Amino acid sequence: MGEKEAIDVYIISDSIGETAELMVNAVVSQFNSASVELHRETFLSDAERIKRIVEEASNRKSVIAYTLVKTHLREVIVQEAQKYNIPMVDLMGPLLDTFSSLMLTEPRLEPGLIRRLDEDYYRRVSAVEFTVKHDDGKDPNGLLKGDIVLIGVSRTSKTPLSMYLAHKKLKVANMPLVPEVEPPQELFWVPVEKVMGLTIDPYLLREIRLERLNSMGLKSGNNYADMERIMEELNYARGIMRRVGCMVFDVSHKAVEEVAGKILYAVKESEKI
């Protein structure tokens, strides 16, 4: 038997065409002797360009596979393919129409939405990974690489706030402030608008630390929950925050979401400057 004639598959999309190419390759893999050449035509928004592509395809043994969300572009490709008697497969239109009828609403018809969703997802994952890596003062070099740096004494919600902000796609590093430990010099190199100080009412902090000690089975007389020690830590932290010149947020009796909202607002305002 002679060699089979190659089939030209024209992948036509108003986005990057990745979905259509994956589907075509999945089908081609089912035919051991298939000789297929792919032509990926992407980011199409012009009817005339579609017409030229279909005309080119008419000169070959070809099939058209397309993912177009715009109704009028789908109509153009159907009309042109029928004119040249070219086989065509609409990989998105029928599913769009089915969902539209079931949901009783019209689709947004915006090309590339799934790519934008993927980008958002990977940005969020990247932010979370960064934040975990730079929690509680780990790797001081990360202070200069993040979007936000949170500083404060122990039990001022640094970690939960960091994780909440990370899920908002912000890379967050947090740094505990302890009188016996001088902060890394990198902290003072971070642009001041990126540093957020956290403070808390000393009596509330003592209650929180006592509960922490109890949960760990430690004695309440531990220096960690001593009022004199707490005052020393808070005064030291305020001194560091003044040196940095950063904004300070009181977390006393406030939910993580509330404090995070204020920090996000401050970040947006700083971006306007």
| 1 is a domain residue | no
pLDDT of 131: 93
Q: Please, which pLDDT band fits residue 1 given cuts at 50, 70 and 90?
A: very low
| 226 is a domain residue | yes
pLDDT of 151: 98
Dist CA 16 CA 118 (whole Å)? 13
| 156 is a domain residue | yes
Three-class secondary structure of residue 112 per DSSP = coil
Do residue 164 and residue 252 come from a single domain?
yes
pLDDT of 141: 86
Do residue 40 and residue 139 come from a single domain?
no
| 67 is a domain residue | yes
Of the listed ranges 96-100, 177-181, 259-263, the one predicted with least confidence: 96-100
pLDDT digits (tens, 9 = 90+) for 194-231: 999 999 999 999 999 999 888 888 876 668 999 999 99
Q: Is 204 within 8 Å of 229 (Cβ atoms)?
A: no
| Six-digit token string for 29 | 């893999």
Q: Please, which pLDDT band fits residue 257 given cuts at 50, 70 and 90?
A: very high
Mark which of 90, 111, 132 sits at the end of a domain. 111
Do residue 125 and residue 259 come from a single domain?
yes
Do residue 191 and residue 205 come from a single domain?
yes
Q: b/e for 133-163, b at 16 or more Cβ within 10 A?
A: ebbebeeeebbeebbbbbbbbbbbbbbebbb
Do residue 44 and residue 60 come from a single domain?
yes
pLDDT of 266: 93
Better-predicted residue by pLDDT, 241 or 71: 241
Mark which of 56, 91, 111 sits at the end of a domain. 111
Q: Is 10 within 8 Å of 62 (Cβ atoms)?
A: yes
As a whole number, mean pLDDT of residues 244-248 equals 97
Three-class secondary structure of residue 23 per DSSP = helix
- How many domains does one find in the chain? 2
Do residue 193 and residue 214 come from a single domain?
yes
pLDDT of 79: 94
Q: Is 30 within 8 Å of 1 (Cβ atoms)?
A: no
CATH of the domain at 88: 3.40.50
Do residue 98 and residue 121 come from a single domain?
no
pLDDT of 102: 78
Do residue 126 and residue 105 come from a single domain?
no
pLDDT digits (tens, 9 = 90+) for 41-53: 988 888 999 999 9
| 151 is a domain residue | yes
70 has pLDDT over 60: yes
Do residue 86 and residue 153 come from a single domain?
no
Do residue 183 and residue 246 come from a single domain?
yes
Q: Where are the beta strands (DSSP E) in 92-231?
A: 148-152, 172-176, 195-199
| 247 is a domain residue | yes
Helices (H), 199-255: 202-215, 227-244
What's phi and psi for 84, nearest 5 deg? Answer: -100, 5
Dist CA 48 CA 12 (whole Å)? 13
Mark which of 61, 95, 111 sits at the end of a domain. 111
Of the listed ranges 30-39, 65-74, 101-110, 127-136, the one predicted with least confidence: 101-110
Do residue 107 and residue 119 come from a single domain?
no
- Full residue range of the structural domain in which residue 268 is found: 114-272
| 258 is a domain residue | yes
Q: Please, which pLDDT band fits residue 81 given cuts at 50, 70 and 90?
A: very high
pLDDT of 19: 81
| 179 is a domain residue | yes
pLDDT digits (tens, 9 = 90+) for 139-184: 898 899 999 999 999 999 999 999 999 999 999 999 999 999 999 9
Do residue 62 and residue 149 come from a single domain?
no
